Chain A
Protein backbone atom coordinates (compact mmCIF):
# COMPACT_ATOMS: atom_id res chain seq x y z
CA UNK A 1 0.00 0.00 0.00
CA UNK A 2 2.91 2.28 0.88
CA UNK A 3 4.48 1.62 -2.53
CA UNK A 4 1.26 2.51 -4.32
CA UNK A 5 1.04 5.74 -2.31
CA UNK A 6 4.61 6.56 -3.30
CA UNK A 7 3.80 5.95 -6.98
CA UNK A 8 0.57 7.96 -6.97
CA UNK A 9 1.39 11.18 -8.86
CA UNK A 10 1.31 14.55 -7.17
CA UNK A 11 1.46 16.68 -10.31
CA UNK A 12 -1.81 17.62 -11.93
CA UNK A 13 -0.73 16.73 -15.46
CA UNK A 14 0.23 13.22 -14.36
CA UNK A 15 -3.21 12.69 -12.80
CA UNK A 16 -4.84 13.91 -16.01
CA UNK A 17 -2.60 11.56 -17.99
CA UNK A 18 -3.58 8.60 -15.81
CA UNK A 19 -7.25 9.45 -16.24
CA UNK A 20 -6.77 9.77 -20.01
CA UNK A 21 -5.02 6.38 -20.05
CA UNK A 22 -7.92 4.84 -18.14
CA UNK A 23 -10.48 6.28 -20.55
CA UNK A 24 -8.45 5.18 -23.58
CA UNK A 25 -8.01 1.68 -22.18
CA UNK A 26 -11.71 1.30 -21.46
CA UNK A 27 -12.53 2.60 -24.95
CA UNK A 28 -10.00 0.27 -26.61
CA UNK A 29 -11.24 -2.70 -24.56
CA UNK A 30 -14.85 -1.92 -25.50
CA UNK A 31 -13.98 -1.68 -29.19
CA UNK A 32 -12.06 -4.94 -29.05
CA UNK A 33 -14.93 -6.64 -27.22
CA UNK A 34 -17.38 -5.35 -29.84
CA UNK A 35 -15.11 -6.65 -32.60
CA UNK A 36 -14.78 -10.05 -30.90
CA UNK A 37 -18.55 -10.42 -30.59
CA UNK A 38 -19.23 -9.16 -34.10
CA UNK A 39 -16.67 -11.48 -35.65
CA UNK A 40 -17.45 -14.67 -33.79
CA UNK A 41 -20.94 -14.72 -32.36
CA UNK A 42 -23.82 -16.56 -34.00
CA UNK A 43 -26.75 -14.22 -34.60
CA UNK A 44 -30.12 -15.95 -34.47
CA UNK A 45 -32.56 -14.35 -36.90
CA UNK A 46 -35.81 -15.45 -38.49
CA UNK A 47 -35.64 -17.17 -41.82
CA UNK A 48 -36.45 -14.57 -44.50
CA UNK A 49 -38.28 -15.85 -47.59
CA UNK A 50 -38.20 -13.94 -50.88
CA UNK A 51 -40.51 -14.83 -53.79
CA UNK A 52 -42.34 -17.71 -52.04
CA UNK A 53 -43.94 -18.77 -55.36
CA UNK A 54 -40.57 -19.48 -56.97
CA UNK A 55 -40.12 -22.79 -58.78
CA UNK A 56 -36.75 -23.75 -57.28
CA UNK A 57 -35.42 -22.91 -53.82
CA UNK A 58 -32.07 -21.43 -52.87
CA UNK A 59 -30.61 -20.98 -49.40
CA UNK A 60 -28.40 -17.97 -48.73
CA UNK A 61 -26.24 -17.99 -45.60
CA UNK A 62 -24.75 -14.70 -44.44
CA UNK A 63 -23.25 -13.58 -41.17
CA UNK A 64 -23.97 -9.90 -40.32
CA UNK A 65 -20.40 -9.31 -39.13
CA UNK A 66 -19.12 -5.88 -38.20
CA UNK A 67 -20.92 -3.90 -40.91
CA UNK A 68 -23.98 -4.00 -43.13
CA UNK A 69 -21.90 -5.07 -46.15
CA UNK A 70 -22.68 -8.78 -45.84
CA UNK A 71 -26.40 -8.06 -45.43
CA UNK A 72 -26.44 -5.75 -48.46
CA UNK A 73 -24.65 -8.24 -50.72
CA UNK A 74 -26.72 -11.23 -49.55
CA UNK A 75 -30.00 -9.40 -50.17
CA UNK A 76 -28.80 -8.04 -53.52
CA UNK A 77 -28.03 -11.61 -54.56
CA UNK A 78 -31.43 -12.72 -53.27
CA UNK A 79 -33.13 -10.01 -55.35
CA UNK A 80 -31.26 -11.21 -58.42
CA UNK A 81 -32.30 -14.83 -57.87
CA UNK A 82 -35.92 -13.86 -57.12
CA UNK A 83 -36.12 -11.83 -60.37
CA UNK A 84 -35.07 -15.04 -62.16
CA UNK A 85 -37.91 -17.09 -60.65
CA UNK A 86 -36.16 -18.52 -57.61
CA UNK A 87 -37.70 -18.86 -54.16
CA UNK A 88 -34.97 -17.64 -51.81
CA UNK A 89 -34.53 -18.35 -48.12
CA UNK A 90 -32.02 -16.20 -46.24
CA UNK A 91 -30.58 -17.33 -42.92
CA UNK A 92 -27.76 -16.28 -40.60
CA UNK A 93 -25.40 -19.03 -39.39
CA UNK A 94 -26.72 -20.31 -36.05
CA UNK A 95 -28.26 -23.37 -34.44
CA UNK A 96 -31.63 -22.21 -35.83
CA UNK A 97 -30.43 -22.07 -39.46
CA UNK A 98 -31.39 -24.94 -41.81
CA UNK A 99 -29.01 -27.90 -41.83
CA UNK A 100 -31.10 -30.20 -44.03
CA UNK A 101 -30.39 -29.12 -47.61
CA UNK A 102 -32.60 -31.69 -49.33
CA UNK A 103 -35.24 -29.13 -50.43
CA UNK A 104 -32.67 -26.70 -51.83
CA UNK A 105 -31.31 -26.67 -55.41
CA UNK A 106 -28.70 -24.03 -54.66
CA UNK A 107 -26.62 -23.03 -51.66
CA UNK A 108 -25.13 -19.53 -51.51
CA UNK A 109 -22.47 -19.02 -48.83
CA UNK A 110 -21.55 -15.42 -48.07
CA UNK A 111 -18.50 -15.12 -45.86
CA UNK A 112 -16.83 -12.10 -44.30
CA UNK A 113 -13.03 -11.99 -44.14
CA UNK A 114 -11.28 -11.36 -40.83
CA UNK A 115 -7.49 -11.58 -40.64
CA UNK A 116 -7.38 -13.34 -44.04
CA UNK A 117 -9.81 -16.08 -42.97
CA UNK A 118 -13.51 -16.76 -43.55
CA UNK A 119 -15.65 -15.81 -40.56
CA UNK A 120 -16.00 -18.52 -37.94
CA UNK A 121 -19.82 -18.54 -37.69
CA UNK A 122 -20.03 -19.45 -41.40
CA UNK A 123 -17.48 -22.25 -41.00
CA UNK A 124 -19.37 -23.51 -37.92
CA UNK A 125 -22.61 -23.57 -39.92
CA UNK A 126 -20.96 -25.61 -42.67
CA UNK A 127 -19.75 -28.03 -39.98
CA UNK A 128 -23.32 -28.29 -38.64
CA UNK A 129 -24.61 -29.09 -42.12
CA UNK A 130 -21.83 -31.60 -42.66
CA UNK A 131 -22.03 -33.37 -46.00
CA UNK A 132 -23.25 -30.94 -48.67
CA UNK A 133 -24.10 -33.90 -50.96
CA UNK A 134 -22.67 -32.16 -54.03
CA UNK A 135 -25.23 -29.37 -53.85
CA UNK A 136 -24.56 -26.58 -56.33
CA UNK A 137 -22.81 -23.92 -54.31
CA UNK A 138 -22.04 -20.29 -54.96
CA UNK A 139 -19.42 -18.70 -52.76
CA UNK A 140 -19.26 -14.98 -52.09
CA UNK A 141 -16.17 -13.97 -50.17
CA UNK A 142 -16.34 -10.44 -48.81
CA UNK A 143 -13.37 -8.33 -47.86
CA UNK A 144 -12.28 -4.78 -47.20
CA UNK A 145 -8.66 -4.87 -48.36
CA UNK A 146 -7.29 -8.17 -49.64
CA UNK A 147 -9.21 -11.43 -49.30
CA UNK A 148 -7.65 -13.93 -51.76
CA UNK A 149 -6.49 -16.21 -48.94
CA UNK A 150 -9.93 -16.18 -47.42
CA UNK A 151 -11.55 -17.02 -50.78
CA UNK A 152 -9.18 -19.96 -51.25
CA UNK A 153 -9.80 -21.16 -47.71
CA UNK A 154 -13.57 -21.04 -48.20
CA UNK A 155 -13.31 -22.94 -51.49
CA UNK A 156 -11.21 -25.61 -49.81
CA UNK A 157 -13.74 -25.90 -46.99
CA UNK A 158 -16.65 -26.35 -49.41
CA UNK A 159 -14.73 -29.04 -51.28
CA UNK A 160 -13.97 -30.85 -48.03
CA UNK A 161 -17.69 -30.85 -47.25
CA UNK A 162 -18.50 -32.24 -50.68
CA UNK A 163 -20.08 -29.16 -52.23
CA UNK A 164 -19.97 -28.43 -55.98
CA UNK A 165 -18.70 -24.91 -56.54
CA UNK A 166 -20.52 -23.28 -59.44
CA UNK A 167 -19.21 -19.78 -58.92
CA UNK A 168 -16.80 -18.16 -56.46
CA UNK A 169 -17.02 -14.38 -56.19
CA UNK A 170 -14.68 -12.05 -54.35
CA UNK A 171 -16.30 -8.71 -53.53
CA UNK A 172 -14.76 -5.74 -51.78
CA UNK A 173 -16.33 -3.04 -49.68
CA UNK A 174 -13.37 -0.66 -49.95
CA UNK A 175 -11.13 -1.82 -52.81
CA UNK A 176 -12.47 -1.50 -56.40
CA UNK A 177 -14.48 -4.41 -57.76
CA UNK A 178 -14.31 -5.83 -61.26
CA UNK A 179 -15.53 -3.44 -63.94
CA UNK A 180 -15.75 -0.61 -61.47
CA UNK A 181 -19.17 -1.82 -60.31
CA UNK A 182 -20.32 -1.94 -56.73
CA UNK A 183 -20.39 -5.25 -54.88
CA UNK A 184 -24.21 -5.28 -54.73
CA UNK A 185 -24.46 -4.64 -58.50
CA UNK A 186 -22.16 -7.57 -59.23
CA UNK A 187 -24.08 -9.79 -56.80
CA UNK A 188 -27.45 -8.96 -58.41
CA UNK A 189 -26.16 -9.37 -61.98
CA UNK A 190 -24.48 -12.70 -61.17
CA UNK A 191 -27.67 -13.99 -59.52
CA UNK A 192 -29.79 -12.97 -62.53
CA UNK A 193 -27.77 -15.35 -64.72
CA UNK A 194 -28.45 -18.40 -62.57
CA UNK A 195 -31.16 -20.74 -63.81
Chain B
Protein backbone atom coordinates (compact mmCIF):
# COMPACT_ATOMS: atom_id res chain seq x y z
CA UNK B 1 0.00 0.00 0.00
CA UNK B 2 2.83 2.36 1.00
CA UNK B 3 4.80 1.48 -2.15
CA UNK B 4 1.79 2.26 -4.37
CA UNK B 5 1.39 5.61 -2.63
CA UNK B 6 5.08 6.51 -3.14
CA UNK B 7 4.83 5.49 -6.81
CA UNK B 8 1.77 7.73 -7.28
CA UNK B 9 3.56 10.65 -5.59
CA UNK B 10 6.65 10.15 -7.78
CA UNK B 11 4.56 10.10 -10.95
CA UNK B 12 2.76 13.24 -9.80
CA UNK B 13 6.01 15.14 -9.12
CA UNK B 14 7.46 14.04 -12.48
CA UNK B 15 4.33 15.24 -14.28
CA UNK B 16 4.50 18.52 -12.34
CA UNK B 17 8.12 19.04 -13.39
CA UNK B 18 7.29 18.30 -17.02
CA UNK B 19 4.11 20.38 -17.03
CA UNK B 20 6.01 23.36 -15.61
CA UNK B 21 8.58 22.98 -18.41
CA UNK B 22 11.54 22.28 -16.12
CA UNK B 23 12.57 19.18 -18.02
CA UNK B 24 14.98 21.29 -20.09
CA UNK B 25 16.84 22.46 -16.96
CA UNK B 26 19.52 19.73 -16.95
CA UNK B 27 20.30 20.42 -20.62
CA UNK B 28 20.51 24.15 -19.94
CA UNK B 29 23.01 23.44 -17.18
CA UNK B 30 25.09 21.45 -19.64
CA UNK B 31 25.10 24.27 -22.19
CA UNK B 32 26.13 26.70 -19.43
CA UNK B 33 29.59 25.08 -19.49
CA UNK B 34 30.14 26.32 -23.05
CA UNK B 35 29.14 29.83 -21.93
CA UNK B 36 31.61 29.64 -19.04
CA UNK B 37 34.46 28.53 -21.32
CA UNK B 38 35.51 31.88 -22.88
CA UNK B 39 35.27 33.65 -19.50
CA UNK B 40 37.43 30.97 -17.87
CA UNK B 41 39.91 31.16 -20.74
CA UNK B 42 40.06 34.96 -20.41
CA UNK B 43 40.62 34.74 -16.64
CA UNK B 44 43.39 32.20 -17.14
CA UNK B 45 45.18 34.14 -19.89
CA UNK B 46 45.15 37.39 -17.94
CA UNK B 47 45.95 35.75 -14.58
CA UNK B 48 42.70 36.59 -12.80
CA UNK B 49 43.43 33.60 -10.61
CA UNK B 50 40.46 33.62 -8.25
CA UNK B 51 38.03 34.31 -11.07
CA UNK B 52 39.49 31.34 -12.94
CA UNK B 53 39.11 29.07 -9.90
CA UNK B 54 35.54 30.23 -9.33
CA UNK B 55 34.51 29.72 -12.94
CA UNK B 56 36.13 26.29 -13.04
CA UNK B 57 34.28 25.23 -9.89
CA UNK B 58 31.08 26.52 -11.48
CA UNK B 59 31.76 24.41 -14.56
CA UNK B 60 32.33 21.32 -12.42
CA UNK B 61 29.13 22.12 -10.55
CA UNK B 62 27.10 22.22 -13.76
CA UNK B 63 28.68 18.91 -14.80
CA UNK B 64 27.56 17.30 -11.58
CA UNK B 65 24.10 18.84 -11.29
CA UNK B 66 22.95 18.34 -14.88
CA UNK B 67 23.05 14.56 -14.47
CA UNK B 68 21.83 14.69 -10.88
CA UNK B 69 18.81 16.82 -11.78
CA UNK B 70 18.03 14.70 -14.81
CA UNK B 71 17.90 11.58 -12.65
CA UNK B 72 15.95 13.30 -9.87
CA UNK B 73 13.37 14.64 -12.30
CA UNK B 74 13.26 11.35 -14.16
CA UNK B 75 14.03 13.21 -17.38
CA UNK B 76 17.31 11.50 -18.31
CA UNK B 77 17.39 10.84 -22.06
CA UNK B 78 19.87 9.70 -24.68
CA UNK B 79 19.83 13.22 -26.08
CA UNK B 80 20.82 14.61 -22.68
CA UNK B 81 23.58 12.04 -22.26
CA UNK B 82 25.12 12.84 -25.65
CA UNK B 83 24.67 16.57 -25.04
CA UNK B 84 26.51 16.22 -21.71
CA UNK B 85 29.41 14.31 -23.29
CA UNK B 86 29.64 16.73 -26.23
CA UNK B 87 29.63 19.81 -24.00
CA UNK B 88 32.31 18.20 -21.83
CA UNK B 89 34.40 17.63 -24.94
CA UNK B 90 33.96 21.23 -26.13
CA UNK B 91 34.95 22.54 -22.69
CA UNK B 92 37.98 20.26 -22.38
CA UNK B 93 39.27 20.85 -25.91
CA UNK B 94 38.73 24.61 -25.50
CA UNK B 95 40.73 24.80 -22.28
CA UNK B 96 43.52 22.60 -23.60
CA UNK B 97 43.63 24.76 -26.74
CA UNK B 98 44.35 27.75 -24.51
CA UNK B 99 46.93 25.76 -22.53
CA UNK B 100 48.66 24.76 -25.78
CA UNK B 101 48.60 28.38 -27.00
CA UNK B 102 50.17 29.47 -23.72
CA UNK B 103 52.90 26.91 -24.34
CA UNK B 104 52.05 24.70 -21.38
CA UNK B 105 51.23 21.52 -23.31
CA UNK B 106 52.32 20.13 -26.68
CA UNK B 107 50.04 20.37 -29.73
CA UNK B 108 49.50 16.62 -30.00
CA UNK B 109 47.35 16.65 -26.85
CA UNK B 110 44.51 18.19 -28.88
CA UNK B 111 44.19 15.54 -31.63
CA UNK B 112 44.57 12.90 -28.92
CA UNK B 113 41.54 14.21 -27.03
CA UNK B 114 39.63 14.63 -30.31
CA UNK B 115 40.43 11.05 -31.29
CA UNK B 116 39.14 9.70 -27.97
CA UNK B 117 35.88 11.64 -28.35
CA UNK B 118 35.36 10.42 -31.91
CA UNK B 119 35.96 6.81 -31.00
CA UNK B 120 33.61 7.21 -28.03
CA UNK B 121 30.90 8.49 -30.41
CA UNK B 122 31.46 5.68 -32.88
CA UNK B 123 31.56 2.90 -30.30
CA UNK B 124 28.54 4.29 -28.42
CA UNK B 125 26.37 3.36 -31.40
CA UNK B 126 27.19 -0.33 -30.88
CA UNK B 127 24.26 -2.35 -29.63
CA UNK B 128 26.57 -4.15 -27.22
CA UNK B 129 28.29 -1.58 -25.00
CA UNK B 130 32.07 -1.78 -24.62
CA UNK B 131 33.46 -2.40 -21.18
CA UNK B 132 36.03 0.34 -20.62
CA UNK B 133 36.77 0.86 -16.91
CA UNK B 134 39.18 3.72 -17.67
CA UNK B 135 37.34 5.40 -20.52
CA UNK B 136 34.20 6.06 -18.47
CA UNK B 137 36.28 8.37 -16.27
CA UNK B 138 38.27 9.92 -19.13
CA UNK B 139 36.31 13.18 -19.09
CA UNK B 140 36.62 13.46 -15.31
CA UNK B 141 40.36 12.85 -15.48
CA UNK B 142 40.78 15.59 -18.08
CA UNK B 143 38.70 17.93 -15.92
CA UNK B 144 41.10 17.08 -13.11
CA UNK B 145 44.06 17.89 -15.37
CA UNK B 146 42.51 21.30 -16.15
CA UNK B 147 41.99 21.98 -12.46
CA UNK B 148 45.56 21.03 -11.60
CA UNK B 149 46.86 23.23 -14.43
CA UNK B 150 44.96 26.19 -13.00
CA UNK B 151 46.34 25.48 -9.53
CA UNK B 152 49.98 24.63 -10.25
CA UNK B 153 52.68 25.68 -12.69
CA UNK B 154 56.13 24.52 -13.80
CA UNK B 155 57.38 22.68 -16.88
CA UNK B 156 58.00 19.43 -14.98
CA UNK B 157 54.40 19.49 -13.78
CA UNK B 158 53.13 19.95 -17.36
CA UNK B 159 55.30 17.05 -18.57
CA UNK B 160 53.77 14.83 -15.88
CA UNK B 161 50.24 15.83 -16.85
CA UNK B 162 51.00 15.26 -20.57
CA UNK B 163 52.42 11.84 -19.77
CA UNK B 164 49.35 11.12 -17.65
CA UNK B 165 47.03 12.00 -20.53
CA UNK B 166 48.96 9.70 -22.85
CA UNK B 167 48.90 6.90 -20.28
CA UNK B 168 45.16 7.18 -19.63
CA UNK B 169 44.35 7.46 -23.33
CA UNK B 170 46.51 4.48 -24.16
CA UNK B 171 45.04 2.39 -21.35
CA UNK B 172 41.49 3.23 -22.39
CA UNK B 173 42.13 2.38 -26.03
CA UNK B 174 43.88 -0.87 -25.12
CA UNK B 175 41.06 -1.96 -22.82
CA UNK B 176 38.51 -1.24 -25.58
CA UNK B 177 40.55 -3.13 -28.17
CA UNK B 178 41.00 -6.10 -25.87
CA UNK B 179 37.26 -6.18 -25.18
CA UNK B 180 36.38 -6.00 -28.87
CA UNK B 181 38.97 -8.56 -29.97
CA UNK B 182 38.48 -10.98 -27.06
CA UNK B 183 35.69 -13.07 -28.67
CA UNK B 184 37.78 -13.39 -31.86
CA UNK B 185 40.80 -14.46 -29.85
CA UNK B 186 38.67 -17.16 -28.25
Contact = CB atoms under 8 A, between A and B. Distances in A.
Contacts, number: 87
A190 interface: no
Interface string B21-39: 0001001100100110110
B34 A28 contact: yes
Nearest to B47: A145
A20 interface: yes
A174 B49 CA distance: 13
B102 A114 contact: yes
A36 interface: yes
Main secondary structure of the interface of B (DSSP, over half): helix
A133 interface: no
A6 B47 CA distance: 44
Q: Find the residue from A18, A31, A115, A117 having the highest chain B CB count within 10 A.
A: A115
Interface string A147-176: 101000000000000000000000000100
**Count class of interface residues, chain B:** 20 to 34
Interface string B89-110: 0100010011101111000000
A113 B37 CA distance: 20
B45 A21 contact: no
Interface in A26-66: 27-29, 31-32, 35-36, 39-40, 66
B87 interface: yes
Nearest to A9: B79
B96 to A, nearest CB: 11
A181 interface: no
Main secondary structure of the interface of A (DSSP, over half): helix
**Count class of interface residues, chain A:** 35 or more
B41 interface: yes
A3 B121 CA distance: 11
Interface of A: 3, 6-7, 9, 13-14, 17-18, 20-21, 24-25, 27-29, 31-32, 35-36, 39-40, 66, 113-117, 120, 143-147, 149, 174
Interface of B: 24, 27-28, 31, 34-35, 37-38, 41-42, 44-49, 78-79, 82-83, 86-87, 90, 94, 97-99, 101-104, 125, 153
| Pairs of residues from A and B, 9 with the lowest C-beta to C-beta distance, nearest first | A115-B102, A144-B46, A145-B47, A3-B125, A36-B101, A24-B34, A145-B48, A31-B38, A146-B47
13 contacts: A9-B79, A17-B83, A21-B34, A21-B83, A24-B35, A27-B38, A31-B41, A36-B97, A114-B45, A115-B44, A115-B45, A145-B48, A174-B46
